[in-house]
């Protein structure tokens, strides 16, 4: 897995999984961590055990049933942490012994930690979530519920489809334009009605606009569409193989 050294130094266990070292047939030995309709429960359970064993503490994974919205789950009890069927696209908490986690396979994972309040967030931001400003809303949630100050926060943006490969159509461009006056800066035109979109930059800018220093934001230099040897890519593999695995991005207190 990839680890944000700055979040770790600030007291947050964290990790962005890769596809390596698992038991799933995607095509083989893949670390698929979600997607029960495309893999067996036994495979996913073993893969999650292997992934969680990378941490030096026994954590409970707190994840959600993602729906490409802007809902945020606030986890304050272990029962809430264990219930992964709630429909949200981000998880916030300050509880010890849990890892807030989101699943991706091209969408943008964002991890946020405040070393003062000890609160943290894991965010799933596809293009719909990005348009709905879910990353900005997660920062506000940490501030409202845990008194976290954005000036103290650190953030890591993980591997996702990059602006060099992720082509979108008019629907996405129009949705951005309705919500962001400067949305054009995130697009590079390719052909009529299509463009490449930079979701990494859009989510970085949301963090900055909420008060997180640019120096406190790390961005992983990997595109999931270009590096299918390391990561799952829905856009690449769903079209060619008919199925793809899911990555996990997690954060919790050390």
- Tell me the pLDDT tens digit for each residue of 20-31: 999 999 989 999
As a whole number, the mean pLDDT across the chain is: 96
Over 25-65, what HEC string results? CCCCCECCCCCCCCCCHHHHHHHHHHHHCCCCCCCEEECCE
> What's the whole-number mean pLDDT along residues 84-89?
96
Distance CA 190, CA 42 (A): 43
Distance CA 115, CA 199 (A): 26
Distance CA 254, CA 111 (A): 15
Q: Give one DSSP letter per residue of 75-122, joined into a string.
A: E-SHHHHH---SB-SEEEE--TTEEEEEEESSSEEEEEE-TTT--EEE
Confidence at residue 242, expressed as pLDDT on a 0 to 100 scale: 79
Residues 6+ positions from 241 with CB-CB distance below 8 Å: 26, 27
Burial 176-199 (b: 16+ CB within 10 A, else e): beeebeebeebbeeeeeeebbbbb
> What's the whole-number mean pLDDT along residues 179-195?
95
Give residue-wise pLDDT tens across range 218-240: 999 999 999 999 999 999 997 77
Q: Looking at the domain 5-161+217-253, which fold is it?
A: 3.60.140
Given a cut of 90, is residue 241 above it in pLDDT? no
Element (H, E) at 184: none
Confidence at residue 239, expressed as pLDDT on a 0 to 100 scale: 72
- Residue showing tokens 């640019």: 214
> What's the whole-number mean pLDDT along residues 111-139?
98
106 φ/ψ sector (left φ>0, alpha ψ -120 to 50, else beta):
left
Measured CA angle at 60 (ends 110, 104), to 5 deg: 30
Distance CA 25, CA 42 (A): 12
For 46-55, 104-113, 114-123, 157-166, which range has the lowest pLDDT when averaged over its residues? 157-166
Q: Phi and psi for 133 in degrees, rounded to 5?
A: 60, 40
Burial (CB < 10 A; 0-12, 13-18, 19+), residue 239, is exposed
Residue 37 binned pLDDT confidence (cut-offs 50, 70, 90): confident
For 83-97, 98-112, 234-248, which range has the lowest pLDDT when averaged over its residues? 234-248
Among residues 100, 63, 102, 96, which one has the least CA distance to residue 251?
A: 100
> What's the whole-number mean pLDDT along residues 205-227?
97
Confidence at residue 180, expressed as pLDDT on a 0 to 100 scale: 92
Share of the chain above pLDDT 90, in %: 94
Residue 62 tokens, joined: 């707190």
Residue 158 binned pLDDT confidence (cut-offs 50, 70, 90): very high
Confidence at residue 243, expressed as pLDDT on a 0 to 100 scale: 87
Among the residues of 104-195, which ranges form H helices? Answer: 127-131, 134-146, 170-179
């Amino acid at each position: 897995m990839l680890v944000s050294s700055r979040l770790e130094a600030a007291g947050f266990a964290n990790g962005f999984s890769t596809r390596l070292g698992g038991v799933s047939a995607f095509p083989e030995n893949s670390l698929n961590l979600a997607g029960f309709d495309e893999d067996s429960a036994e495979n996913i359970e073993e893969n999650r055990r292997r992934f969680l064993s990378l941490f030096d503490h026994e954590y409970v994974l707190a994840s959600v049933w993602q729906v490409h919205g802007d809902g945020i789950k606030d986890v304050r009890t272990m029962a809430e942490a264990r219930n992964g069927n709630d429909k949200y696209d981000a998880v916030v908490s300050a509880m010890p012994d849990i890892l807030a986690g989101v699943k991706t396979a091209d969408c943008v994972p964002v991890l946020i930690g405040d070393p003062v309040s000890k609160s943290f967030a894991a965010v799933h931001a596809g293009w719909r979530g990005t348009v709905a400003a879910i990353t900005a809303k997660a920062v506000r949630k940490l501030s409202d519920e845990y008194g976290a100050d954005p000036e103290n926060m650190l953030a890591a943006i993980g591997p996702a489809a990059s602006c060099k490969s992720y082509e979108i159509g008019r629907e996405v461009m129009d949705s951005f334009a309705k919500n962001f006056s400067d949305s054009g800066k995130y697009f590079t035109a390719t052909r009529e009605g299509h463009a490449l979109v930079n979701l990494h930059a859009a989510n970085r800018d949301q963090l900055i606009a909420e008060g997180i220093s640019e120096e406190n934001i790390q961005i992983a230099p990997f595109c999931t569409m270009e590096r299918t040897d390391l990561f799952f890519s829905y856009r690449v593999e769903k079209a060619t193989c008919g199925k793809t695995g899911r990555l996990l991005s997690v954060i919790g207190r050390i």
